[in-house]
Structure 1
Amino acid sequence: MVGRKQETQELNNIYSSGKAELVAIYGRRRVGKTYLVDETFKNRITFRHAGLSPVEEGTKEGNTLKKQLEHFYFSLQLQGMPKSHRPQTWLEAFFMLEQLLQSKDNGERQVVFLDELPWLDTPGSGFITAFEGFWNTWACHRSTIMVVVCGSANSWILDKLIDNHGGLYNRVTHELKLEPFTLSECKEFFKYNNLVISDYDIVQSYMIFGGIPFYLGYFERGLSLAQNVDKLLFLSNAKLKDEYNRLFESGFKNPEIMKSIVNLLSQLNAGFTRKEIVEKLKITDSGHLSKYLKALIASDFVIEYVPFGLGKRETHYKLIDSFCKFWLKFVNEKENLDSAFWQPNVTSNQINSWRGFAFENVCFNHIKQIKNALGISGVITTHSAWSKRPDETGEKGSQIDLLISRNDNVVNMCEMKFYSEEFCVNKDYHETLIKRQSLLSTMIPKKSVVHGTLITTYGLTYNEYSGDFINTITMEDLFKD
């Protein structure tokens, strides 16, 4: 298995704990949760079941519970339960599971894997009450039982299990959030699948697919990156042409409002404040919006941050999911997916401009690697974007891609440049940097200093202006663990 070394070790340690365990694994859809459990506990799973997807045309609300229970009954039968009547409630279904596990108990660890758990909790089904009874009355008292639950509806996992204030309060013994691959793990993944691809193109693949192994697994040997992008997203039979809608329909109860928020956030790289979201979408500023934003953050689609020098009231919500950003910018605009788009336009001004903004997003997702390259992995820091909009006096606005404010009295003013060769600072850009640094210097404590920092692909060309950057971080640094 590529990557996931820490997660695999943690799961194996829990397996060997000698006590009852309830493990909740969550993360963005397609990030590899099921694969992680399958590979870690290969041939060691006593019982497994996956909920039925709520995305099914023609399904009526009234028969959803019946179908879920019927499917659970079939799983019980396939894994050793004698033929019986079908359960009518979740309480009865979990009682049957208890009976099955007792019949298989030989004193060794029993792993129960319930995948896509949120899908089982259909309206009015009583699922949570039954699961509480299963765990609190029976499973938690058996030292051999290890229950592993997964789900892509991260807000459900957090609200109903991890942060539950009812019968499951503080019952989850371990929680594990599975993150997308880093650039290093993407490189390892491509190598494992015998795909020959340069680091430069791996970064571009990250700009599009965001380190999601499910998407990268569709790459075909012998095709260039551009050919693979067309095959997966732009041709008439593209494998991922419906993926954007599926992400929201399978992961959220209110997919349309979620998509409207994401669509808005995609329009500005720095994101928007809550007030701006309310105004632009013409929605009510209520607890429902808080839940929507929390769910998007939990699913790794969005981050919240306070721009440098501002207060919490100016908290911004920024879209960081590369796949969503790419789909909304390029795929959503195409009326017909019937011909190659990426290959004939790969050197166009439109795509070159996009690469610059997309590289910023790659860097935002590799702050750990950037800190390591700066030698400040142990320093407490905060990071954010910063922008100053034009004012009424006619003063021009300004923007800094990434600021890293450090507890050792340094602020790294980071500029991100995605180039196919070394980056060269010319006179105009030099003057822009001086203005930005001068403006920033008026906003930081007197005890602090500003370090110009360049994050780019192949480094910096030495000339009379190269001294503007005290630190230069290259693509090679971003690929380090």
Structure 2
Amino acid sequence: QENGVLHSEFDRLFDSLFDGAEVYKDLIRIIAEKREGVARSYIEASSKYLSKGGTLTNKLRDLEDAAFIRSFKPLGHKRQGIYYRIIDEYCYFYLKWIEGTKRTLTIQESGNKYWSNKTNAPEYYSWMGYAFESICYKHIGEIRIALDIHVGVSIGTWRYSSKQAIKHSGAQIDLVFERNDGVTTICEIKYSDKPFVINTSYADNLKQKVKIYKEQTRTKNHLHISFISASGIKENKHSLELVDGIVTLDDLFKAVL
């Protein structure tokens, strides 16, 4: 609602934190466009305020220092450069659910049923998945402890886009731990309010994803598959065959000693 507590907080927040706040708002909106994150080159091409160079670098650093975004390099794709994604939960909530309704009557017409209706829509579960991923990226230390990863490790995401779609599809891995003990832990991040079920179709897709990862990275490491699932996973023949480790929402909020 227009007088709701969070309705105007986005503008107030950025106006209070940054001089020239419109530039930072523009950058946040651009970065939020793609769930998997956006390349710096995409930001340069899309921003209506900034050009290449130090100005953009400084603005992005300001946003990262304030914990609105995180930068990362997809593992195995050094030429792609740095990517950015939103990690501030409120910003993504605002851009997804509030900003787009400000100039419409959707909320007013739906009354108190607006949010309850949205929670049954596919876009709600997509948003929840993104928000859960962002929380996971903030709790890498807890994930390492839950998976008993105490050796040196390179951490990142991984994706592959096939140039020959007929031969095989692309693949994306939410989180990868490339360990120095000869093991690579591949993590699937899944949000659900019930234990996640690995059905036959999902199991086949996961096996294909792992196969593509091995082919494209040419890794010699043993591959372990772990799930980071808010409510855990339901045990069945597929989970017993494929899953080496499970991290739940409770694990993410255990104190790191």
Query: Runs (4+) of structure 1 moved beyond 3 Å?
Result: 336-340, 392-395, 443-447
Aligned to 2:206: 433
| 1:133-152 correspondence runs (5 A) | none
- Go from structure 1 to structure 2 and tell me whether the alpha carbon gap of 1:446 and 1:348 turns closer, same or farther (over 3 Å shift): closer
Q: 1:385-439: per-residue Cα shift (whole Å, max 9, x none)?
A: 2222342554422211111222222221111112222222111111111111111
Aligned to 1:342: 115
- 3-state DSSP of counterpart to 1:300: coil
**Alignment RMSD:** 2.0
TM-score normalised by L of structure 2: 0.88
> How far, CA to CA, are the matches of 1:447 and 1:352 in structure 2?
36
Residue type of the alignment partner of 1:259: K
Aligned to 1:449: 222
- In our comparison, the structure showing a higher alpha carbon Rg is 1
Q: 1:255-299: per-residue Cα shift (whole Å, max 9, x none)?
A: 111111110111112211111111222642121111111111111
Match of 2:71 among 304, 312, 322: 304
| 1:158-307 correspondence runs (5 A) | 235-281=1-47, 283-307=50-74
- 3-state DSSP of counterpart to 1:422: coil
Structure 1 position 360 matched with structure 2 position 136: no
> How far, CA to CA, are the matches of 1:240 and 1:457 in structure 2?
25
Aligned length: 246
Aligned to 1:404: 177
- Go from structure 1 to structure 2 and tell me whether the alpha carbon gap of 1:459 and 1:393 turns closer, same or farther (over 3 Å shift): closer
- Go from structure 1 to structure 2 and tell me whether the alpha carbon gap of 1:353 and 1:319 turns closer, same or farther (over 3 Å shift): closer
Q: CA deviation at 1:446?
A: 4.3
Match of 1:325 among 92, 96, 100: 92
Residue type of the alignment partner of 2:74: P
Aligned to 2:251: 477
Contact 1:309 1:443 in 2 (8 A): no
Residue type of the alignment partner of 1:479: F
Residue type of the alignment partner of 1:352: Y
Residue type of the alignment partner of 2:68: F
Aligned to 2:160: 388
Residue type of the alignment partner of 2:129: G
- Go from structure 1 to structure 2 and tell me whether the alpha carbon gap of 1:393 and 1:241 turns closer, same or farther (over 3 Å shift): closer
> How far, CA to CA, are the matches of 2:195 and 2:73 in structure 1?
32
Q: 1:341-394: per-residue Cα shift (whole Å, max 9, x none)?
A: 323332222212322222111211111111110112x32223222222342554
Which ranges of structure 1 fall in alignment gaps of 5 or more residues? 1-234
> How far, CA to CA, are the matches of 1:433 and 1:407 in structure 2?
24
